[in-house]
Chain A
Amino acid sequence: MGGILDKVEMTRRMCPVIFLLDTSGSMAGDVIGRVNAAIEGVLPELQSMNDVNGDAEIKIAIMAFSSGPNWVTGDQLVSPDNLAWNSLDAAGPTAMGAAFRELNNKLSVDKGFMKRASGSVAPVLFLLSDGAPTDDYESGLQKLKNNNWYKVAIRVAIGYGDADDNILAEFTGNTETVLHTNNPEDLKNMIRFVSITSSMVASRKVDPGNSNNNPDDNTAVLADEIEARGGEEAAAKGEISAAKADEAW
């Protein structure tokens, strides 16, 4: 670098946003179509957030799980703008336990996603499922619960149709960050709402307030934020979307 005005982007921490998407056979057809459309729509919004966030840079990973876990974004976190979205197909059982174990492997600096020279803020862990696990999810979840990244993470889940919301709440550790819908159009809106709201909380675009006693309980911060924005009902509703998330007024 040289020159009195030359600058690169400020050193920012990483804000990992990790999606675990159930692509079991029951998701096939209309439902997986809505999930694909929702994720595709969210990516540019996350990128716009990155353009104007001086504190943290959102990086994402997407796991599709059915008979086994599959990181569709590869073995590293990626920028939302570098991602060419290939639609997911749905087939097979719901191996949620295997998904939890694989997530646990990746929530690590040495062997996983979490290495960044400038460090990271608490990650977002977003689980979407439409049915009960077909494998031993409990031992996988137990492993995850001992992971320090999991402990500080912003954990949120959407249950669709026959999903067992109690199991999703075991994952989030907070019933208030489990949303549910049976309507495919609502599902698309909800995925957007949850992705954007949790990413805003994680990347410090909202004031965490002082409502909760444990300052590292970021899931509780998200619960407050979901509530403030009108809860499940508002999440399911489409809204006026800005042409660009960072458009000035």
Chain B
Amino acid sequence: MSVQTRLERNQKVRLIDGRTVTVIDKLGEGGQGIVYKVRLDNTGKEKALKWYYVSKLNDPKGFYKHLQDNIESGPPSSAFIWPEQLTEWTNNTFGYIMDLYPSGYVGFSKFITARANFASATAMVDAAINIVKAFEALHNKGYNYQDLNDGNFSINPNDGSVLICDNDNVMGHGGYSGILGKSRYMAPEIVRGEKKPDKLTDRFSLAVVLFILFMGDHPLEGKKTNVPALTSKYEKKFFGEEPVFIYDKNNDSNRPIPGLHRNAIARWKYFPSYVKEAFQQSFSKESLLKGDSNSRLLEAMWIHVLMRLKSSLVKCPHCNSDVFIESDRDMSCPDCKNNIHIIGYIKFPKRANINVCIPIYGGAKLYDYHIVPAEKNSSSCAGIVLEKPGKVGLKNLSKLKWTIKAPDGSSATRDTNEVAVLGKGFTIDFGKGIVGEVMSN
């Protein structure tokens, strides 16, 4: 059987809806095929065409049908560069077209190799939030990704917006694309051969991606994994049979090595306790060795953790560096080491059993997410903490009327752009049923 594994420039390929595309250029190649830039002959619009190495597919006919189903069902959200139309079978193989990447996006791998970096700490946290939201949308649609790794998404370094590509292995619940995933991103139970990819194993890979995004090193690579040659035996051991988180709470056998895992050592200290705990839970012994579903954070839980982080970005009063601060305790600045005193926090009702709060510290921000029930918008600022000698306040930047009550029974309302002075034991009703409580440390 002769297969046309590569297309020629100017070659025409027919789509199943009768339209044709003309090959313009090659864009890249991967394990499953080559991606070309093509032009739709009827409109002149440029698209990307993924062209398969058909022998790399376990069941090419089944896969073709699978892609057709995904195309019909549509993308989970606008963050996905989703297959748009299949080609006809052509010389014993096939492909599909999708949108080209808009400009401004950089592959996540380039952040890993430090060829790209975020314009701001907010963009970094927003990127994490956007990645989590994309996979939440995917899982909510009943899909799982199966092969989540550093090569699957691109990020705009300026605003943290995210695009997910390589969506052809996305499967409905119970489906199996034949791809187990990429080494170092696969859940340990897959490496051990106990399981095929599903939603729960996606969540492990998601935690790896988030860890790498923030810390710049791999969560399971430290002292224990430092061998001259990474053979399959070691790979299975480090990522399947005996994985240990580099910052495991109870086991320090795989700590990062100074001089080698420089990012992990330098960056771990920049993150507040609740972020560290979320990673310690995600990569706990139970999660790594038993695939324990309770250890793996649901996407919704990550959003609550990450929104808390986003709210907590302020300037160090001593050295003016950007810092993520704690809420319920003092801390030392990771840059200048001076103490940062945090007097308290506003506590919101828990969500998905995760604490929701913002520190009471000048510059800390409140988002619509905090004050509007079920609000998904993570970027719309609804308030900011202000400080002046002897006083702290919360400026209302939302369109809602806030009602503030003091323990002595007095109350007041604050409209847009007005400032509510905060005192111990105060409550704020934000106008849509959410009440925050001022807690002092």
A residues bordering B, Cβ < 8 Å?
Answer: 1-13, 50-55, 109, 114-122, 148-149, 152, 200, 204-207, 209-210, 215-216, 224, 227-230, 234, 237, 239-243, 245-249
Contacts and interface: CB of A to CB of B under 8 A. Distances in A.
Contacts of B369: none
Interface of B: 3-9, 23, 25-32, 35-37, 48, 53-56, 100-101, 105-110, 112-115, 117-118, 120-121, 124, 150-151, 154, 179-180, 182-184, 212, 216-218, 221, 226-233, 257, 259-263, 266-267, 270, 321-324, 334-335
A240 B113 contact: no
Contacts of A234: 5-6
Secondary structure of the A side of the interface?
Answer: loop
B30 A6 contact: no
B229 A4 contact: no
With a 10 A CB-CB cut-off, give which of A121, A228, A248 has the most chain B CB atoms.
Answer: A248
Contact of B6 (A51, A53, A54, A237): A237
Contacts of A229: 5-6, 53
Contact of A51 (B23, B115, B232, B261): B115
Contacts of B233: 216
B230 A13 contact: yes
B179 A7 contact: no
Given A51-B113, A152-B231, A118 B56 contact: no
Task: In the A-B complex, list the 8 residue pairs whose CB atoms are closest, starting with the nearest.
Answer: A206-B31, A54-B112, A215-B232, A230-B5, A228-B53, A249-B27, A249-B48, A9-B114
B105 A248 contact: yes
Secondary structure of the B side of the interface?
Answer: loop
A5 B154 CA distance: 18
With a 10 A CB-CB cut-off, give which of B28, B105, B110, B322 has the most chain A CB atoms.
Answer: B28
Given A206-B31, A229-B53, A4 B121 contact: yes
Given A52-B109, A52-B110, A249 B28 contact: yes
A146 to B, nearest CB: 15
Contacts of A240: 6-9, 23, 25-26, 36
B182 A53 contact: no
Nearest to A240: B26
A119 B257 CA distance: 13
Given A3-B322, A4-B121, A240-B23, 16 more contacts: A2-B335, A10-B212, A51-B115, A120-B229, A206-B30, A207-B179, A207-B182, A230-B4, A237-B6, A239-B6, A240-B6, A240-B8, A241-B26, A247-B28, A248-B107, A249-B101
A82 to B, nearest CB: 16
